[in-house]
Amino acid sequence: MTDETPPQLDGRVVRGDAKRRAILDLAVDLASAEGLEGLSIGRLAGELGISKSGVVLHFGSKEEMQLATISTAVRRIHAEVIVPAEREPEGVVRLWTYCDRWLASLEGSLFAGGCFFSTVGAEFNARPGRVHDAIAAAHATWLTVLRDQAAIAFDNGQLDGGGNPEQLIFELDSVIRSSNLYSRLHGDNSAFDRARQTIRERLATICVDDATRRRLSVHPKKS
């Protein structure tokens, strides 16, 4: 943007960006409870008090809106789960922190309807297309984040027990997803603490470092 840009144009851009963010924030929360197919231009416009054409202007089509909604959910997770965990030492501690932060986000208000990706994954897992691929890519990225830390922990001798990051991450991810199901379907919020206990015990069982094992035995402070 140059100095010659009219101030009113700059203001329109800022307002347009703010409106797009508002639409996507609402879309993420609605989709976390009802799925991406439940999103409609009319509903989003009505809840935000804007025109349908104003919503269409930002996305062009429902599929583009769904893809943008997925990207917004990914950014929320990155900010609330990935970035804080990256402050921890690599290996077992960071792996545990990723899991703990993800569970805390499910307990809290990161998504109004529970795990966004559990909801939309069940909705699109057998429906090929761009939306399916975006959801699958987001989940694959999460698994890679966990797998990288597990591999570091095995390579550095922090973990023993066969050195199989793939199996370990499959188990941890499954426990986290199961806790969301118990919470949302059965109203059992104690499932999150049971998930934490399961993950701590699984890691402690193969952890060869006493200090780290003691850290895993302590209930973390929820944030």
Phi and psi at residue 217, to the nearest 5°: -80, -10
**Average pLDDT of the residues in 99-123:** 94
Residue 188, CA atoms < 13 Å, CB-side half-sphere: 12
**Average pLDDT of the residues in 144-157:** 94
pLDDT band of 16, cuts 50, 70, 90? low
Distance between CA 83 and CA 196 in Å, rounded?
A: 20
Q: What is the pLDDT of residue 218?
A: 55
- Whether 11 has a pLDDT exceeding 70, the answer reads no
20-60 pLDDT tens trace? 888 999 999 999 999 999 888 888 888 888 877 777 778 88
Q: What is the CA radius of gyration of the chain?
A: 20
Q: What is the pLDDT of residue 1?
A: 45
Q: What is the pLDDT of residue 221?
A: 44
Q: What is the pLDDT of residue 214?
A: 74
Helix axes 7-34, 116-124, angle to 10 degrees: 70
Task: Using a pLDDT cut of 90, give the percent of the chain over it.
Answer: 65
- Single pTM value for the model: 0.85
